[in-house]
Chains A and B, each alone.
Chain A
Amino acid sequence: MSDDTDSDITKPAAEAAGFTIAQRQEREKRLRRRANMIATFSTIAVVLAIIVLVPLAPGWEKVQRSFFNGEVFLKTFPTLVKAFMLDIAIFAWSAPIIAVWALVVALARDARSPALFPLRLFATIYNDVFRGVPVILIVYLIGFGIPGLGLPRPWNSPYIWGSVALVLSYSAYVAEVYRTGIESIHESQRSAAKSLGLSHWDTMRYVILPQAIRRVIPANMNSLISLQKDVALLSFIGPVELLRQAGVFKSLYANFTPYLGASLLFLAVTIPATRLADRMIAKQNRERS
């Protein structure tokens, strides 16, 4: 009871009750420490319960042998790390292209002049199609389909056309994000730039886009995180990246542990990226308020 009242107490009242600021701070620190301790204990308790209770399940031994097999893990993990480098490479060359192409699509969709209507129509159809079809189907259709037209090597490489599929698909999403950003910039900024005699393109380039792009960075971070995972879809058309390598080991050892290793590798990249995105969003919300 006394806990509640003195945490709500107003400052003069607190002074009247004989609290000094130092005492208050000391008190708050104690409360925080206690909260931290409770959180730690409950976490440990839950983890312990999982560690103790799950193995009691009748199928545990088989599950352990199939999913948490230390021997298989050690044998396969180094090769999985190597395969993951291919994912990172595909990601590294796809992401910048997506950033640029998506911007082109977003600007095309934003084209206001009636003469540019065909461009706007094209961009709208593009967005509808590539956001409406699952990425894996795009990867299949473009990865096998375009090389099937008879392109000579190396131009029929699944690395190229798989990346093209990812770029086309993800650009549609990222273009929408950009567009939201562009529309979120207040009309008065456009008016100000126009009143100064800046052209439509200069207004876009120097006034609208720098603000819009900055504003959508957190949202685009999320797109990048899912791109990092979807890079694995390229395995369907040949490249032996992490997911495929794990699948090969799974078949070879008839064991799912390599998938666990692959998950850990993906997490090693996506968890820090997710935290970073969260932090950026939080920072932006603080700035806006």
Chain B
Amino acid sequence: MNTSTKTLVLACAFGLASGVAFAQGECSMGKTVTDGVLTIATGNPAYFPWVIDDNPASGQGFEAAVAYSLAEHMGFSNDQVAWTRTTFDQAIQPGAKNYDLNMQQYSITEERKQTIDFSAPYYTAAAAVLVRQPTLDAGASATLDSLKALKWGAGAGTTAGSLIASLIGPDSQTLLYDDNADVTEALKAGQIDAALLDLPSALFTAAVLLDDGAVLGQFAPDASGDLDQFGAVMEKDSALKPCVDAALAEMAADGSLAGIEEEWLQGATGVPVIE
């Protein structure tokens, strides 16, 4: 059996399996960029544990798995999902979009809602403090006083910068970087003592990217007054939003969202909570 026949057979199988889903897929009919295809954007590159090996089409990783589950609940089969890549700027620029949904750990804020639409949240992130062993050796601890004295860094495109200011209020100016890779580099160079990341990213960075990384502690998800929640970004006044929200509500109700979280975002237990 050659490859194309294989694909055909698989496609038929999927078609049969998702027969029920097609019935409720009416909602998104004609509202996607390409008819009958759900185009989802992710970052370039996409980072662990959100997407494994920068390959979202594998469905491996939290956001990749959420994306396929979401598509299924909206009535799209797996091969009706197309992936594309965008930067944050491309996600928010006005004009026609080349994606239906953009998932790369976008925090939902009121200000951002003025320009773009967010789906209902698919993850509630705790902010975590990433440090290296020398900082621990120097006596840093998970208390606010100790944290204030550290030199802080964060990704500029994230809400971490303002969280550092409101939750910690450090003594010295926070340094900001393009992405988490540069934040990690600054930690290695000793230019910053600590970085504020979402907990899964912090755990991954500490375990994999740094030789001597450690997660010092986490803030309770609602510590900032607002929950730091990730939502999929859509064009302002997107017609697709009700369909996405309905599907996400369904995923929460039938436990599939919790299941994906459990599968991909493990290991958060045991990190002390900073009061």
Contact between chain A and chain B defined by CB under 8 Å: yes
- Whether the pair B114, A254 counts as a contact (CB closer than 8 A) is yes
- Whether the pair B94, A62 counts as a contact (CB closer than 8 A) is yes
Partner of B156, one of A147, A153, A248, A253: A248
- Whether the pair B94, A66 counts as a contact (CB closer than 8 A) is yes
Which residues of the partner chain A approach B151 to less than 8 Å between Cβ atoms? 153
Q: Does A189 contact B (CB under 8 A)?
A: no
Q: Does A239 contact B (CB under 8 A)?
A: yes
From 256 to 273 in chain B, residues with beta carbon under 8 angstroms from any chain A beta carbon are none
From 137 to 166 in chain A, residues with beta carbon under 8 angstroms from any chain B beta carbon are 144, 147-148, 150-153, 156-158
The tally of residues in A whose CB lies under 8 Å from a CB in B reads 32
- Whether the pair A59, B94 counts as a contact (CB closer than 8 A) is yes
Report the minimal beta-carbon distance from B173 to chain A, rounded to whole angstroms: 7
Of the stretches B139-147, B181-189, B239-247, the one at the interface is B181-189
Q: Does B45 contact A (CB under 8 A)?
A: no
- Whether the pair A248, B161 counts as a contact (CB closer than 8 A) is yes
Given contacts A240-B175, A247-B157, A252-B162, A66 and B192 within 8 Å (CB-CB): no
The docked-state distance in angstroms from the alpha carbon of A65 to that of B92 is 11
Report the minimal beta-carbon distance from A258 to chain B, rounded to whole angstroms: 12
The docked-state distance in angstroms from the alpha carbon of A152 to that of B112 is 39
From 73 to 95 in chain B, residues with beta carbon under 8 angstroms from any chain A beta carbon are 88-89, 92-95
Which residues of the partner chain B approach A7 to less than 8 Å between Cβ atoms? none
Report the minimal beta-carbon distance from A19 to chain B, rounded to whole angstroms: 61
Interface of B is mostly: loop
The docked-state distance in angstroms from the alpha carbon of A56 to that of B182 is 42
From 138 to 173 in chain B, residues with beta carbon under 8 angstroms from any chain A beta carbon are 151, 153, 156-159, 161-162, 173
Q: Does B109 contact A (CB under 8 A)?
A: yes
- Whether the pair A240, B182 counts as a contact (CB closer than 8 A) is no
Which residues of the partner chain B approach A281 to less than 8 Å between Cβ atoms? none
Which residues of the partner chain A approach B173 to less than 8 Å between Cβ atoms? 240
Given contacts A144-B185, A144-B189, A147-B190, A65 and B115 within 8 Å (CB-CB): yes
Give the bracket for the number of chain B residues in contact with chain A.
Answer: 35 or more
Q: Does B236 contact A (CB under 8 A)?
A: yes
- Whether the pair A240, B176 counts as a contact (CB closer than 8 A) is yes
Which residues of the partner chain B approach A127 to less than 8 Å between Cβ atoms? none
Report the minimal beta-carbon distance from A139 to chain B, rounded to whole angstroms: 12
- Whether the pair A236, B178 counts as a contact (CB closer than 8 A) is yes
Report the minimal beta-carbon distance from A283 to chain B, rounded to whole angstroms: 42
Partner of A239, one of B111, B114, B158, B175: B175
From 179 to 220 in chain B, residues with beta carbon under 8 angstroms from any chain A beta carbon are 182, 185-186, 188-192
- Whether the pair B157, A251 counts as a contact (CB closer than 8 A) is yes
Report the minimal beta-carbon distance from A243 to chain B, rounded to whole angstroms: 10
Given contacts A158-B175, A236-B178, A254 and B92 within 8 Å (CB-CB): yes
Q: Does B133 contact A (CB under 8 A)?
A: no
Q: Does A171 contact B (CB under 8 A)?
A: no
Q: Does B174 contact A (CB under 8 A)?
A: yes
Q: Does A255 contact B (CB under 8 A)?
A: yes
Which residues of the partner chain A approach B174 to less than 8 Å between Cβ atoms? 240
From 219 to 243 in chain B, residues with beta carbon under 8 angstroms from any chain A beta carbon are 236
Which residues of the partner chain B approach A153 to less than 8 Å between Cβ atoms? 151, 190
The docked-state distance in angstroms from the alpha carbon of A269 to that of B162 is 29
Chain B residues with a Cβ under 8 A of chain A: 88-89, 92-95, 109, 111-112, 114-116, 151, 153, 156-159, 161-162, 173-178, 182, 185-186, 188-192, 236
8 A-B interface contacts by CB (under 8 A): A144-B189, A158-B175, A238-B153, A248-B161, A251-B156, A253-B112, A253-B115, A255-B115
